[in-house]
Chains A and B, each alone.
Chain A
Amino acid sequence: MNKIVARVGIYAFLICAALFFFAPLYIMLVTSMKTMDEIRLGQLFALPMQATLAPWRAAWSEVCTGVACEGIGAGFWNSVTIVVPSTILPILLGALNGYCLSFWRPRGANTLFAVLMFGAFIPIQVMIYPLVKILASVGLYSSLPGIIMVHIVFSMPVMTLLFRNYYAGIPAELFKAARIDGGGFWRIFVQLMLPMSAPIIIVAAIMQITGVWNDYILGLTFAGREHLPMTVQLNNVINTTTGERLYNVNMAATILTAAVPLIVYFVSGRWFVRGISAGAVKG
Chain B
Amino acid sequence: MALVVLVGYLGTALWSLRVSLSSSRTFPTYDFVGLAQFERLFGNERWMLSLENLAIYGVLFIMACMLIGFLLAVFIDQKVRGEGLLRTIFLYPYAMSFVATGLVWQWVLNPTDGIQQAVRQMGFPDFTFDWIIDQDMVIYTVVIAAVWQASGLVMALMLAGLRGIDIEIWKASRIDGIPAWRVYFSIILPMMAPTVATVFILLFTGVIKVFDSVVAMTQGGPGTASEVPAKFIMDHLFGRANLGLASAGAVVLLLTVLALVAPLMYARARKEGVA
User: A residues within 8 Å of B by Cβ?
Assistant: 10-11, 13-14, 17-18, 20-25, 27-28, 31, 39-45, 93, 96-97, 100, 109, 112-113, 115-119, 121-131, 133-134, 153, 156, 160, 210, 213-217, 221, 231, 234-235, 238-239, 247, 250-251, 254, 257-258, 261-262, 264-266, 269, 272-273, 276-277, 280-283
Find out whether the CB atom of B80 lies under 8 angstroms from the CB atom of A126: no
Find out whether the CB atom of A17 lies under 8 angstroms from the CB atom of B90: yes
Given A10-B75, A251-B107, 11 more pairs with CB closer than 8 A: A13-B71, A21-B93, A28-B107, A96-B1, A109-B2, A123-B254, A125-B249, A126-B251, A127-B13, A231-B97, A231-B100
Find out whether the CB atom of B2 lies under 8 angstroms from the CB atom of A24: no
Name A125's contact: one of B72, B234, B243 (CB within 8 Å): B234
Which residues of B from 209 to 256 have beta carbons under 8 Å from A?
209, 211-212, 215-216, 219, 229-230, 233-234, 237-238, 243, 246-247, 249-251, 253-254
Q: Which of B35-43, B58-66, B108-116 contacts A (4 or more CB under 8 A)?
A: B108-116
The 10 closest A-B pairs by CB, nearest first: A214-B97, A42-B117, A119-B9, A44-B118, A265-B95, A130-B12, A216-B212, A130-B15, A127-B12, A258-B100
Cα A19 to Cα B176 in complex, Å, equals: 37
Find out whether the CB atom of B103 lies under 8 angstroms from the CB atom of A39: no
Chain B residues with CB under 8 A of A283: 265, 268-269, 272
Q: Which of B45-53, B131-139, B153-161, B183-191 contacts A (4 or more CB under 8 A)?
A: B153-161
Cα A46 to Cα B96 in complex, Å, equals: 24
A266, chain B: closest CB distance, angstroms: 7
Chain B residues with CB under 8 A of A17: 68, 72, 90
Cα A215 to Cα B91 in complex, Å, equals: 19
Which residues of B from 1 to 42 have beta carbons under 8 Å from A?
1-3, 5-6, 8-13, 15-16, 19, 28
Closest to A279 in B: B202
Find out whether the CB atom of A21 lies under 8 angstroms from the CB atom of B148: yes
Cα A152 to Cα B113 in complex, Å, equals: 42
Which residues of B from 141 to 167 have beta carbons under 8 Å from A?
148, 151-153, 156-157, 160
Most A CB contacts (10 A, CB to CB) among B212, B247, B249 go to B212
Closest to A234 in B: B99
16 inter-chain pairs at a CB distance below 8 angstroms, sorted by A residue, are: A96-B1, A100-B2, A116-B9, A121-B258, A128-B234, A129-B16, A133-B15, A153-B8, A156-B5, A216-B211, A216-B216, A257-B97, A262-B92, A265-B92, A282-B201, A282-B265
Q: Contacts A17-B72, A42-B118, A214-B96 given: A126-B254 contact, CB under 8 Å?
A: yes
| CB of B88 within 8 Å of the partner chain | yes
Closest to A273 in B: B156
Q: Contacts A121-B205, A282-B201, A283-B269 given: A126-B96 contact, CB under 8 Å?
A: no
Majority-rule SS of A interface residues: helix
Interface size on B, residues (CB 8 A): 90
Cα A231 to Cα B211 in complex, Å, equals: 13
B158, chain A: closest CB distance, angstroms: 11
A224, chain B: closest CB distance, angstroms: 13
Most B CB contacts (10 A, CB to CB) among A40, A123, A247 go to A123
B199, chain A: closest CB distance, angstroms: 8
Cα A160 to Cα B211 in complex, Å, equals: 26
Cα A160 to Cα B5 in complex, Å, equals: 11
Name B215's contact: one of A23, A40, A235 (CB within 8 Å): A235
Chain B residues with CB under 8 A of A266: 88, 92
| CB of B104 within 8 Å of the partner chain | yes
Closest to B105 in A: A24
Find out whether the CB atom of B75 lies under 8 angstroms from the CB atom of A44: no
Q: Contacts A116-B6, A119-B9 given: A24-B234 contact, CB under 8 Å?
A: no
Name A122's contact: one of B2, B113, B157, B257 (CB within 8 Å): B257
Find out whether the CB atom of A43 lies under 8 angstroms from the CB atom of B121: yes
Find out whether the CB atom of A21 lies under 8 angstroms from the CB atom of B152: yes
Find out whether the CB atom of A216 lies under 8 angstroms from the CB atom of B254: no
Find out whether the CB atom of B12 lies under 8 angstroms from the CB atom of A273: no
Closest to B232 in A: A125
Find out whether the CB atom of B157 lies under 8 angstroms from the CB atom of A280: yes
A136, chain B: closest CB distance, angstroms: 12
A153, chain B: closest CB distance, angstroms: 5
A116, chain B: closest CB distance, angstroms: 6
Chain B residues with CB under 8 A of A119: 5-6, 9-10
Name B237's contact: one of A121, A128, A215, A250 (CB within 8 Å): A128
A159, chain B: closest CB distance, angstroms: 11
Name A276's contact: one of B5, B88, B156 (CB within 8 Å): B156
Cα A39 to Cα B118 in complex, Å, equals: 11
Find out whether the CB atom of A24 lies under 8 angstroms from the CB atom of B108: yes
Closest to A265 in B: B95
Closest to B114 in A: A44
Chain A residues with CB under 8 A of B86: 14, 18
Cα A129 to Cα B230 in complex, Å, equals: 13
